[in-house]
Copies of this chain bind each other. A is one copy, B any other.
């Protein structure tokens, strides 16, 4: 087969590929990240690249994605363009996933949330309060792996019990487990370890029910060399924290784009890849590589040895968790939406290729259902919802919006397919919250005042920008209550575009590429569908519980999106329920926080399992009232504004 050279601009990366490979696959090979919401199916139009040298080919079906100007300039969809000759290719900024920025952002958020004002305090000694509620079963600090130093008496004729019995005799003085087990690998070197160290050893244990499992025995005093990693395995980003398991302190945090992004942006396209033409192994390897890279970087920065990391806890949605564990996610996608596993067994991290101590363990947080995963369980843990008598609500707004309500006696969960409109998909100028994204918008008279990420010229609009925009458009009657552009309005910004009405947010002279950034009627329809799905999900759970919204004493908003959200405007468009603003709390990356809590406490792990098993999950597609709630929510803010959104004033 012929080999061709592809030269990527502006990165100046040159690679050689086999004939017939798609340009999307070629970027991946070159280590470049470009957007691909649909996973290379040619239907999202996000992977536009420009053929600078070579013959550009566009499928007829892809034509609607391009302007005349773009076609003339040689723009193509990278996923549809196959390499048949040497090419020079330019990747425009809007097609690029900007790894560095997402990274930094995650870090800043994490740092702010956990480093400066951690939700719980740690101090020596080992046995301290995690949550400061003595009655809370999560009140014990007991990391999933912990080390105990033993200064053993040397054997004598009067005391010649076996080495293992000698270790257990001392351990029993220090720990209170009903029983102990030695892993085979902990025994292999035991004879030498004991004798070379003059009977001074450090034992690493992990707990399973009432049994202390001895996974490692090291020579000498190594109690202070014990670290763990908490990982949020998001569909888009993977964020890892390095944690000192002796003190509970967070040593550092880093994030990266999920390398699986090459194979589709959302869980459904990842499943389609695994269960269709692709393979589970490829996606598993990708995310394991993410995690290994983060661990390498964190340990290098912090002067920690890989071998000193004895446990890792990962939280992710059900699909991400299945893929990480190497389990087929195919049945998640199809009615009746059955995952393979809910309670993931604790395994050796090396079994799936994660590089920590060779005896180190991996615990993946349990999931609730096919679309309510371990990340949601982690959120429930982080908000401590399941241990308090007052009823609260957790909302994670994403392509799938997960909602949990409940208290220490009952919990309900559901997931609504909201679509990617708030995440940069399904809209003409939508983008993620990376540099150049309009994230805040206010309309004053005829003027539009906006802020972009990074303060640069705008390149598109991200989720929080769309919420502001919808709110302002509704308030100024640009939009009718049904979300349609007002027929009677005369506004220089409201224009007739190629196929439909569009509203101009930024004129060409304001934007980076000299193009007109607009919101179209279709965009608004998609955004309304997204917000309707989420609100209807919350409303359905409340109705199922028989409680009114007012009974919610706390509403936790999770996800990267949350921090930039203007709650008042989110209520104004009918995305969030109409409750006093002080009841809302942004919990940031609660998935990572929950993962770390599990890492630091076996009791929290037990809690997580109990939440996973006791929560009642409502399958909205089978819950008849949801359809009506959804239809009623396709308005600004809602068809039943009087009753449900009395405080919204426009």
Chain A residues close to B by CB (< 8 Å): 155-166, 179, 181-184, 187-188, 190-192, 195, 209, 211, 325-328, 330-331, 335-343, 345, 347, 351, 367, 369-370, 619, 622
With A163-B339, A163-B340, A183-B345 as contacts: A330 and B157 at CB distance below 8 Å? no
Q: Which of B162, B181, B192, B622 is within 8 Å of A342, CB to CB?
A: B162
Residue of B nearest to A341 (CB): B164
With A179-B209, A209-B179 as contacts: A191 and B340 at CB distance below 8 Å? yes
> When chains A and B are docked, how far (Å) is the Cα of A165 from the Cα of B340?
9
Q: Which of B156, B165, B181 is within 8 Å of A345, CB to CB?
A: B181
With A179-B209, A182-B345, A345-B181 as contacts: A340 and B160 at CB distance below 8 Å? no
Residue of B nearest to A166 (CB): B338
> When chains A and B are docked, how far (Å) is the Cα of A188 from the Cα of B281?
12
CB distance from A228 to the nearest CB of B (A): 20
- Cβ-closest 5 pairs across A and B: A191-B328, A160-B336, A162-B342, A157-B336, A184-B347
Residues of B within 8 A of A367 (CB): 162
> When chains A and B are docked, how far (Å) is the Cα of A338 from the Cα of B190?
13
**B336 to A164, Cβ gap below 8 A?**
no
**B190 to A336, Cβ gap below 8 A?**
no
**A161 to B338, Cβ gap below 8 A?**
yes
Residues of B within 8 A of A341 (CB): 162-164, 182, 187, 190
Q: Which of B156, B191, B369, B619 is within 8 Å of A331, CB to CB?
A: B191
**B190 to A340, Cβ gap below 8 A?**
yes
Residues of B within 8 A of A331 (CB): 155, 163, 191, 195
Residues of B within 8 A of A211 (CB): 209
CB distance from A454 to the nearest CB of B (A): 43
Q: Which of B157, B191, B325, B347 is within 8 Å of A622, CB to CB?
A: B157
Among A155, A162, A191, A622, residue most surrounded by chain B Cβ atoms (within 10 Å) = A162
A-B contact pairs, 7 of them (CB 8 A): A162-B342, A162-B367, A181-B345, A183-B345, A184-B325, A187-B345, A191-B331
Residue of B nearest to A336 (CB): B160
> When chains A and B are docked, how far (Å) is the Cα of A336 from the Cα of B163?
12
**B164 to A330, Cβ gap below 8 A?**
no
Q: Which of B181, B327, B345 is within 8 Å of A191, CB to CB?
A: B327
**B191 to A157, Cβ gap below 8 A?**
no
Residue of B nearest to A192 (CB): B328
> When chains A and B are docked, how far (Å) is the Cα of A166 from the Cα of B209?
22
Residues of B within 8 A of A163 (CB): 331, 338-341
**B619 to A160, Cβ gap below 8 A?**
yes
Residues of B within 8 A of A191 (CB): 327-328, 330-331, 340
**A326 to B157, Cβ gap below 8 A?**
no
Residues of B within 8 A of A345 (CB): 181-184, 187
Q: Which of B165, B187, B335, B340 is within 8 Å of A327, CB to CB?
A: B187
Residues of B within 8 A of A164 (CB): 340-343
CB distance from A19 to the nearest CB of B (A): 34
> When chains A and B are docked, how far (Å) is the Cα of A267 from the Cα of B367?
53
Residue of B nearest to A342 (CB): B162
Residues of B within 8 A of A328 (CB): 191-192
Residues of B within 8 A of A370 (CB): 160
Q: A157-B622, A188-B326, A191-B340 given. 11 additional CB < 8 A pairs?
A: A160-B338, A161-B342, A162-B342, A163-B341, A164-B340, A166-B338, A184-B325, A184-B351, A190-B327, A190-B340, A191-B328
> When chains A and B are docked, how far (Å) is the Cα of A182 from the Cα of B181?
18
CB distance from A597 to the nearest CB of B (A): 23
**B622 to A335, Cβ gap below 8 A?**
no
Residues of B within 8 A of A335 (CB): 157
**A340 to B162, Cβ gap below 8 A?**
yes
Among A155, A211, A337, A351, residue most surrounded by chain B Cβ atoms (within 10 Å) = A155
CB distance from A610 to the nearest CB of B (A): 13
> When chains A and B are docked, how far (Å) is the Cα of A157 from the Cα of B370?
12
> When chains A and B are docked, how far (Å) is the Cα of A440 from the Cα of B179?
52
Residues of B within 8 A of A347 (CB): 184
Q: Which of B181, B182, B183, B338 is within 8 Å of A162, CB to CB?
A: B338
> When chains A and B are docked, how far (Å) is the Cα of A343 from the Cα of B619?
49
Q: Which of B165, B327, B336 is within 8 Å of A156, CB to CB?
A: B336
**B157 to A187, Cβ gap below 8 A?**
no
> When chains A and B are docked, how far (Å) is the Cα of A158 from the Cα of B336?
8
> When chains A and B are docked, how far (Å) is the Cα of A619 from the Cα of B159?
11
CB distance from A559 to the nearest CB of B (A): 25
Q: Which of B155, B183, B339 is within 8 Å of A336, CB to CB?
A: B155
Residues of B within 8 A of A160 (CB): 336-338, 369-370, 619
> When chains A and B are docked, how far (Å) is the Cα of A127 from the Cα of B522?
68
**A187 to B155, Cβ gap below 8 A?**
no
Residues of B within 8 A of A336 (CB): 155-160
CB distance from A208 to the nearest CB of B (A): 8
CB distance from A144 to the nearest CB of B (A): 16
> When chains A and B are docked, how far (Å) is the Cα of A155 from the Cα of B183?
37
> When chains A and B are docked, how far (Å) is the Cα of A158 from the Cα of B622?
9
CB distance from A272 to the nearest CB of B (A): 16
> When chains A and B are docked, how far (Å) is the Cα of A336 from the Cα of B153?
13
> When chains A and B are docked, how far (Å) is the Cα of A369 from the Cα of B351?
35
Among A160, A163, A339, residue most surrounded by chain B Cβ atoms (within 10 Å) = A160
